[in-house]
Every structure is written in C-alpha cells, then in structure tokens.
Amino acid sequence: MSKAAKATEIEIETEVEVELQSPADEIEGVREIGDAELKAIAEAMIFVADEPVSAKTIADVIKVDRTAIEKALGDLVLEYDARNSGLQLREIAAGWQIATRPEHHEQIRAYLKSRPSAKLSLASLETLAVIAYKQPVTVPEILEIRGVQSPSAIKTLLDKRLIVAKGRKETVGRPMMYGTSKDFLIQFGLKDLSELPSIEDFQDLAGGSES
Amino acid sequence: MSKAAKATEIEIETEVEVELQSPADEIEGVREIGDAELKAIAEAMIFVADEPVSAKTIADVIKVDRTAIEKALGDLVLEYDARNSGLQLREIAAGWQIATRPEHHEQIRAYLKSRPSAKLSLASLETLAVIAYKQPVTVPEILEIRGVQSPSAIKTLLDKRLIVAKGRKETVGRPMMYGTSKDFLIQFGLKDLSELPSIEDFQDLAGGSES
Amino acid sequence: MEDTSPNEIATSAPAEAQVEPAQTISVANSRPEIAPDGDTDQLKITMGDFEGPLDLLLYLIRQEQVNIYDIPIARITDEYLRYLNLMQELDLTVAGDFLVMAAQLIELKSRMLLPRDPLAVEEEILDPRAELVDRLLEHEKFKAAAEMLWSRATVEQAVFKRAEIETDKNNPEVTVGLFDLLRVFQEILARQKEEILLEIEREEVSMAEMIDRLRNMVRSAGEVNLKTFFERSKSRRELVVAFLSVLELVRMSEIALVQSETFGAIMARTVGAEGQEI
C-alpha cells in the first residue's frame, strides 16, 4: 500500500520513546503511522467517541507516544480554525471533542427545532458554585457559606450528575463530602477545574474597592 | 464609584431568567450569509443531524437558494479530501452525512472495544448495588433480592474486576459468596466501604427543603 | 446569642412595623423592591424570594446604600426585622435560617451599644461586625461565581455535539456514580417490598380455611374477640370471608356471640355448657 510506504519515511520521529503504561507484550505490534494518518485517526476516533477522549486514550489505542497525539491534535485545532469550519475541535473535561461553534447556534437550533434546555435555579447554581470552589465540601460547610439550608439543591445537583460524593469527612457524624463531576466540566465548557476563575477575582465585585 | 451602584449591576445580571427564550422567531428576517458562513453552517447542521440531511432541508432552514447549498457542500467535500481528514462528507441516497473513512476502521474498532469500563448496564448496576450493600452475598441471595436472575451480570462485574469471590457459604450447595473489590473502591473513589453513602445520607438530602 | 429565642424576635417585629407608613404590598416571584408608588406618597413593596438571610441582608445594605465595611447595624437590623414581619404578615413561611440571623443581628446591635474598653489599644479593638461582613462578602463572591457559571452554561448551550450514531448504541450503558448505587439499591428494596405485598394479596383464604381458622381460635382460647378476628384480615375480600364464616358457624350453632354490655366487645364462644345466645 502506498500509504504504508509513505508512513515509513516519517516514522522515525514519531516513535521516539515509546513509553506505554500497558504491559510489555502489547507493544509487540507497534505499527508505523505517519503524521497525517495519526491526525486522521485521532480525528475519526474523537468523532465516534460519545464523550470527550483524552490524548492518552488515543495514544494507547493506536500505540504511539502521547506527545505525538498531542501534536497531531494541536495541528488539527489550527486546521479547523484556518478553514473556518462550522465545527471546532476543543479540549473539554480532560479530553477532546468535536462540536459546533457557538456562532451558528441560531441556525442549528432552528434546524433541530430545539430550545435551550431549562437550566439550574439560582439556588442550585449558588450551591454548585460553593461546591466547585470549596470541594471537597460537606453539607454543613455549604450551609455555613450560603447561610441557608441547601439539601434539595444538593439533591438536584446529584440527580443532574453535576456533583459526586467524594468520601466522608473524618469529623463528628462523618458527613459525606461533595465535589464536581466530569459532567460539570462538560456542561460548563471547562477543560479542568483550574480553568475556573479564582474565587478571589470576585472580590472586587463583592466588596468593591475601598474608595 | 459607590459600592451600592456596583452592587446593583450584579443584581440585574443575577436576575436574568434562568431560561432562554426561543430564538426561533428572531431568525425571521433573511440575513445576508457569505459563502464561507454558508459552508460552515451546512457543515454544522449535517454534523448535529441524527440522519442524512438533504441540501433542500439546509436551504430551507437558512433560507437561501438550494444551488448555493449544493455548491457549498461540493466545496466542503473537496476540502475534507484535500486535508486528508479522518472524516468524510458524503452524499448517500437520503442526503448528506459526516462519517469516518473506512481506512481507519481497524483503529476505530480497537478504540470502541477499549472504552472505559466505568459504565455498566442497568442489570449489572443493580447487581453491583446489591453486592456492595449486602456483601458477602451469594448468587441465590442476589436473585432473592433482585427478583431477577443475574448470571451474566455477575460475570460482567467479575470481568470488570468490580467484584471478587469471597469464599463459599456453608449452606446447601455451598454457593460462592461475592463482595466488592479494591478496584471497586478506586473506581468509586472510596477509601473503604464505610464511605458508601447510606440511606440516611440520602434522606438528609431529600428532606427539609426550605428557604 | 443562641439564647435569643425566635419568639422574642417575632414579638419585637410588629412594634417596628407600626412605625411604618401605609404600604401597598404585592408579592412577586421576583427580587423585592421598595419604590414610590406613582405620585402618592405610599411605598410599594414587592416581596421576593430571598435565597436566605445573607441574601436579604445584602439586599438591604444595597437598598439603604450603606458601606458594607461600615454597616449601620441598628438601622439594618430594624429593616431586616421589618422584612421578617412583612413576610409573616403575608403568611410567607419564615424559615429558621432567617430567624437565626435576626437573633444574631439583635445581639450585634446590643454589642455595638456597649462602651468600648477605654484601656484597649485602638488596633486591638475587634469590630463586632467583622464576622458578619466577612460572611456577607464571602456570600457575595459565591453569588458572583454562580453568575459566572450561569453565563458559561449559556455559552455551552450554543455548542452542539453530534447526534447519536450507530456505535453509541452498541454501548447502551449508563454512567455510574456512587449515589447511583444507593439509589438503585433502594429501588430494588422498594420493588421487593411491593412484590411481597402482592404475594400476600394473592394468597386468598378460602371460606373453608377461614371457618377452620375461627373454629380453632375459639376452641383453643375458649372465646375470641370478633374485632381481633376481623383485624387479622389483610384485604377487604378476606374481611368479607371472615364475616361470612362467623355467620356460618353461628348458623351451624358451633359458636355463640356474646356482648356483655351495650357497645362492648362482641365475643365468639364455643356453644357448650352455658349455651347462652343472643
């Protein structure tokens, strides 16, 4: 196959330090894959995935180095942008995903005949904000910050899978601790928690500068 | 600037109704859409569609001439080919769709097979729940509680290493007893079994919602 | 401050309200608003759903246009209590959280009135309001964070993923979280309970069995309170059968029904030596 021949030429650089976590015997069948093919496979894989795929997962499946995949994905992102695609390749929830661009949401919605789904109540959002910034956090601690009981808001957030239990706190009554989930990252378009603006950035809004 | 004035700003924004109004009626006025945008919207629309989309459908939604869409789609096909994408835009009997290219089927299949095991069928989930809360427990006991046979679920859970055999029960037939594994704790982020949420945790959340 | 009972607040609040001018009050599901009502000098008050006492306090601080770092506690406390009073007048349930805050405000108000220790160094005097201010600022930060989340979610809703494709269906599985385990387990237990109940209902007692049951009870105990006997019935149908079996045994003169006083218990006895009947 002509593709295989092509692949061999470029091969050398992609294979540098194959450090796989998988058992040694699986490395046996390391295939020779060129850059262009790598990009194509990664793109196809992200497309078929029903949730964001990490570079590591892709690397493990095609048995190449993760940095090679990361480079391929970086190139792909630029390509998508350069050709003004209606789609974007983006990093979300510690993985990669193909999605439409927000610019065209009106037409897309008109086509799908969909309305934006009902979002969370203010009470739930405030509870979620406390959990996002203070995780892992217990119900009493949330109460302390919000100054109001939030059990039903917490249940809503659990039902919507935006938060998850994170073990128990070793204190009186061993209350359950909560933190945000992967779905939280996805629904709020975050790569990871570090992408959240620092809570101190809201200081100005809250207190205003002393003037 | 006064604090109060600033605070008022925040107030207004927080007040925004947590449900967006339908944008459908805003599209009414025919907009001027350039060639590049047309291509992008058509691509996005085909991407989100759950079945092949005809050029006519796209034209109707964006309210442009069908030949313009056909030209845009033709251009898109060439673009996909030119950049050796892992995806292809193709026209089948019913309309246009985006799909992976056959060349990469092997890797795609490998990926689909490797999908994370954090997912369980309902039968497996039920069986796992019973084992988690009733361990050590035998298959007849699980059957008793679930009211449904679960042989394949047990096998799935064993394969996924979520449960392990815990010796035989000294009763008629000496059935095997099962309990959760270390992997179970890791997957669910538990330090030990005492961290499993209890009925009380759940009731704490369900009850007493007031504000 | 824990000693201040909610009742004290409730009684002090109406006194405050009497000082107030005439008000038109309307309850809306929006944020509260106090605004002059047209060209009358009445105040129009729109009550809103406050997320909690901190929310209400922040609102009052803004409304009164006071510096959050230098809250006039007496004034804000009065306003706060007036609001609680309004809520009660409107029969809105005033949650415990609001009352706790009221108690704290009153306590703060009285502490503000205490003369400062003249010997204390200026810097060492801790403003009694400091803790409350911190909580308010903290609370407002999270309100701003919630708003940020809201706008993020709005942007995210404009982004679409591909529709379901064939290979998704090969994987018809559910993502599992820790609480799913508990929820599923509870569902199983509920289902089990339902099945047991169904079984009991299906287990129908025949007329012959019921007659045997009554006969045995009367024989072994000498007499049986009919009320107790009927209460054993698990369904309406069973109750009817029980009733019929009593009639049947009376008809066959195997038992006699005895009532020793009007409205007293009716006892079923074996028809033996005494043999009195009613």
Q: Mind listing the pLDDT tens digit for each residue in C154-179?
A: 888 888 988 887 777 655 445 567 77
Task: Please report which confidence band the pLDDT of residue A99 belongs to, taking 50, 70 and 90 as the band edges.
Answer: very high
pLDDT tens column, A164-210 = 888 889 888 888 999 999 889 998 999 999 999 988 888 655 454 44
- Cβ distance B48 to A111 less than 8 Å, yes or no, reads yes
Give the residue among C35, C32, C107 at the shortest CA–CA distance from C73. C107
Q: Give Cβ neighbours of residue B75 (< 8 Å, ≥ 6 apart).
A: B39
**Residue of C148, C162, C176 to mutate, testing the B interface (most B Cβ within 10 Å of its Cβ):** C176
Q: Is C263 on the interface with A (CB under 8 A)?
A: no
User: Which pLDDT belongs to residue C125?
Assistant: 67
Give me the mean pLDDT over the A66-93 stretch: 95
- Cβ distance C174 to B11 less than 8 Å, yes or no, reads no
Which tokens hold the place of C157? Answer: 């809703």
Task: Please report which confidence band the pLDDT of residue B124 belongs to, taking 50, 70 and 90 as the band edges.
Answer: confident
Residue of C nearest to B10 (CA): C144
Residue of B nearest to C98 (CA): B211
**Residue of A176, A180, A181, A201 to mutate, testing the B interface (most B Cβ within 10 Å of its Cβ):** A176
Helix axis angle, B122-134 relative to B151-159, nearest 10°? Answer: 80
- Judge whether residue B193 has pLDDT over 60: yes
**Residue of A46, A168, A170, A210 to mutate, testing the B interface (most B Cβ within 10 Å of its Cβ):** A168
> How far apart are the CA of B183 and the nearest CA of chain C, in angstroms?
14
Q: Which of B48, B79, B114 sits opposite A100 (nearest CB)?
A: B48
In which element (H, E) is residue B100 found? strand B95-100
Distant-in-sequence contacts of A50-56, Cβ < 8 A, 24+ apart? A50/C164, A50/C167, A50/C168, A50/C171, A51/A93, A51/A95, A51/A97, A51/A186, A52/A91, A52/A92, A52/A93, A52/A94, A52/A95, A52/A96, A52/A97, A52/A186, A53/A95, A53/A96, A53/A97, A53/B111, A54/A94, A54/A95, A54/A96, A55/A96
Q: Which chains touch A (3 or more CB pairs under 8 A)?
A: B, C
Indicate the range of C5-19, C86-100, C247-261 predicted with least confidence: C5-19
- Judge whether residue C25 has pLDDT over 70: no
User: Which pLDDT belongs to residue C36?
Assistant: 46
pTM of the model: 0.65
- Cβ distance A148 to C179 less than 8 Å, yes or no, reads no
Q: Is A83 on the interface with B (CB under 8 A)?
A: yes
> How far apart are the CA of C7 and the nearest CA of chain B, in angstroms?
19
B152 φ, ψ (degrees, to nearest 5): -70, -30
Chain A residues closer than 8 Å to B85 by CB: 40, 43
> How far apart are the CA of A124 and the nearest CA of chain B, in angstroms?
11
Q: Is C168 on the interface with A (CB under 8 A)?
A: yes
Rounded Cα gap, residues C275 and A124, in angstroms: 74
Chain A residues closer than 8 Å to B30 by CB: none
Task: Please report which confidence band the pLDDT of residue A128 belongs to, taking 50, 70 and 90 as the band edges.
Answer: very high
User: Which pLDDT belongs to residue C198?
Assistant: 61
Q: Is C60 on the interface with B (CB under 8 A)?
A: no
- Cβ distance C179 to A129 less than 8 Å, yes or no, reads no
- Cβ distance C181 to B125 less than 8 Å, yes or no, reads yes
The percent of residues above 90 in pLDDT, for chain C, comes to 8
Torsion angle (degrees, nearest 10) of CA B128, B130, B134, B139? -90
Which tokens hold the place of A196? Answer: 């959240």
pLDDT tens column, A75-86 = 999 999 999 999
Q: Give Cβ neighbours of residue B161 (< 8 Å, ≥ 6 apart).
A: B181, B183
Give me the mean pLDDT over the C191-195 stretch: 74
Strands C23-27 and C43-47: parallel
> How far apart are the CA of B65 and the nearest CA of chain C, in angstroms?
25
- Judge whether residue B17 has pLDDT over 60: no
Give the residue among C227, C225, C229 at the shortest CA–CA distance from C211. C229
Yes or no: say if C15 and C112 are a contact pair by the CB < 8 Å rule: no
pLDDT tens column, B25-53 = 444 444 567 889 999 999 999 999 988 99
- Cβ distance C162 to B145 less than 8 Å, yes or no, reads no
Please give the single-letter amino acid code of residue A22: S
Q: Is C195 on the interface with B (CB under 8 A)?
A: yes
> How far apart are the CA of A79 and the nearest CA of chain C, in angstroms?
19
- Cβ distance B129 to C185 less than 8 Å, yes or no, reads yes
> How far apart are the CA of B51 and the nearest CA of chain C, in angstroms?
8
Q: Which of B83, B108, B210 sits opposite A149 (nearest CB)?
A: B210
Q: State ipTM.
A: 0.70
Q: How far is CA B166 from CA B49, B176, B188, C32, C99, in A?
A: 49, 7, 20, 61, 54
Q: Is C220 helix (H, G, I), strand (E, B) or coil?
A: helix
Q: What is the residue-averaged pLDDT of chain C?
A: 73
Q: Is B87 on the interface with A (CB under 8 A)?
A: yes
- Cβ distance A112 to B48 less than 8 Å, yes or no, reads yes
What does DSSP assign to residue A137?
A: E
Q: Which of A58, A86, A151 sits opposite B44 (nearest CB)?
A: A86
Q: Is C208 helix (H, G, I), strand (E, B) or coil?
A: helix
Which tokens hold the place of A80? Answer: 């998508």
Interface of C with A in 123-162 (CB under 8 A): 135, 137-150, 152-162
> How far apart are the CA of B191 and the nearest CA of chain C, in angstroms?
13
